[in-house]
Amino acid sequence: RFTREALSQEAWPNVDRAQSDRMMDAVVEPLLEAWRRTPLGESARGRAFAGRMRRTARRAGWTLTRQMQGSGFRPAEMELTFGSGGVPPVCIDLADGSRAYLRGRIDRIDLMETQQSVYLRVIDYKSGKRELDPTDIYWGLQLQLLIYLYAASHKYAGAQPAGLFYCRIDDPLITGNLRVQEQVEREIAKRLSLKGLSLSDVEIVRAQGEDQVRAMLKSDGTLRQGAAAVSSQELSLLVDYAVRMAAQLSARIAAGEIDVSPAQRGPMRACAYCDYRGICGFDPLLSGASARVLEKKRLDDIVRAQEET
């Protein structure tokens, strides 16, 4: 709602924090009013929750505004659902000749038009800290953004995929010896910066915004070693890998594979966040019970695996 309201304002994103807050308040107030009319909204705890929601929403609106001020991209679609509403699903062919159809909702698609081409990136909002993890992609645990990019590329045929990012929605508490408000704001902006993957073209990196410039480029304007950036060919291979992995997972689901074998990385096991651990009953002490220990991988490993198929 905020993004649609912002796009209707001619001056946006070149507005100050106060103007951004007023825009967000206009969007949030009807929602909070509906909340106040519920039993939960009448309590002191409910009122405190509503206040926290307003602060977080204001911070999210300003974060988006600030990111757009330094970016060549602009929002083109919000909450685009593929698989319904006239946008076709992602169709993947399975090894047995059957097909699976994936549907989902992309929080935001941004576009940038240049003389050479049109570029697109997908944004997914998260309330917690989340980054793109090559190990999770390799083992099929983090395919969402790549599948979104695949779907968006079909929606905008001819546009060049330029990036995929998580956008954190939060109003973090900053601790430490920061006495100047500008320092606090810079630290908050750093924590809420887009996290993901960009094309390695320097001009595209610059167009992603100031956060990506600081994270990916050295002072001389060249890419940092280890920057989260890949070539156009490598990005295409990553997307193809995600689609291939989705096909494999779909086939295993269709075949009825329900082995009690949770993924494990280091000391962390998937059971820690699983709502069904009481039903599954995984116990590593039982005979035959074992977790799938995931070997750490890099983006290069994913690219190489797809090239070898």
Those residues whose C-beta lies under 8 Å from the C-beta of residue 100, and which sit 6 or more positions away, are 91, 92, 94, 246, 247, 250, 251, 254
Structure tokens at 40: 């939960």
pTM over 0.85: yes
pLDDT at 55: 92
Tell me what pLDDT residue 116 has.
87
DSSP state of 160: E
Average the pLDDT over 159-163 and give the result: 96
Read off the pLDDT of residues 48-89 as tens digits, 9 standing for 90 and up: 888 888 999 999 999 999 999 989 999 999 999 999 877 889
Helix-then-strand count for the chain, H and E:
11, 11
Given a cut of 70, whether residue 287 has pLDDT beyond it is no
List helix spans (H) across the chain: 2-7, 17-36, 44-69, 134-138, 144-155, 181-191, 202-208, 210-216, 232-254, 277-280, 299-307
Q: How confident is the model at residue 202 (pLDDT cuts 50, 70, 90)?
A: very high
- The Cα–Cα gap between 18 and 64 comes to 14
pLDDT band for position 174 (cuts 50, 70, 90): confident
Question: What is the arithmetic mean of pLDDT over 31-52?
Answer: 82
Question: CB–CB of 198/205 below 8 Å?
Answer: yes
Q: What is the pLDDT of residue 178?
A: 61
pLDDT of residue 179: 67
**pLDDT, greater one: 115 or 199:** 199
pLDDT for residue 261 is more than 90: no
Tokens representing 217?
């480029």
Q: What pLDDT does 272 receive?
A: 86
